[in-house]
């Protein structure tokens, strides 16, 4: 089933009329802390349970639920999870938070962070370079570069990135409840 979506402009218009609409941001807590739509609730994709989210809506279960991420890709995956769980009235925000920055939606800005997408590029590039450098010691290390390349092809074909899932669970992509400053841990 194709994911139903909504433009950031239409979301802004709806929010002006009804400030109680619910928006779930499925990015990592660090990405959320950097910038998010003011009325969004952070529920990271790697821990998303559609039934729990819907149960917490207190009487708003039949109203639309809006889902957002950085660019729309993870939001679409979240919508698919909701649809598989039997919840149809879920809409993905087209273009994600990046597109919302160009609208009248209220944003909250916090600490700068390296996006998950950039972290994947850094890690993949580093592993490829490491595999090539180590191949001077033993040619078998070229397998590391080949493995990363195959992973990137798989991610491109399936829109599922194992490295991103792994990186999203790293300590630097987590925000503790007591973190109020932007210093590194």
Catalytic residue among 69, 79, 100, 161: 69
Closest Cα partner for 89 from 118, 57, 121?
57
- Report the relative pairing of strands 40-42 and 22-25 from DSSP bridges: parallel
69 assigned to active site: yes
Cα 23 from Cα 91, distance rounded (Å) = 9
CA angle, 87 then 50 then 66, to 5° = 70
Residues sharing a CB contact under 8 Å with residue 153, sequence separation 6 or more, in sequence order: none
- Report the relative pairing of strands 5-6 and 22-25 from DSSP bridges: unpaired
Rg (CA), the chain: 19
**Which are the catalytic amino acids?**
69
């Amino acid at each position: 089933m194709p994911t139903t979506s909504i433009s950031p402009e239409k979301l802004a218009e709806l929010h002006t009329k009804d400030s109680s609409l619910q928006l779930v941001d499925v990015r990592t807590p660090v990405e959320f802390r950097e910038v998010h739509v003011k009325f969004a609730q952070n529920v990271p994709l790697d821990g998303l349970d559609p039934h729990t989210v819907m149960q917490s809506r207190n009487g708003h279960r039949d109203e639309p639920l809006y889902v957002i991420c950085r660019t729309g890709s993870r939001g679409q995956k979240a919508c698919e999870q909701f649809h598989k769980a039997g919840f149809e009235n879920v809409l993905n925000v087209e273009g994600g938070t990046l597109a919302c920055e160009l609208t009248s939606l209220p944003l909250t800005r916090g600490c700068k962070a390296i996006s998950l997408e950039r972290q994947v590029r850094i890690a993949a590039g580093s592993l490829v370079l490491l595999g090539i450098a180590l191949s001077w010691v033993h040619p078998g290390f070229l397998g590391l570069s080949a493995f990363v390349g195959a992973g990137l092809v798989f991610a491109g074909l399936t829109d599922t990135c194992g490295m991103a899932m792994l990186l999203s669970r790293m300590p630097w992509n987590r925000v503790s409840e007591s973190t109020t400053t932007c210093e590194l841990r």
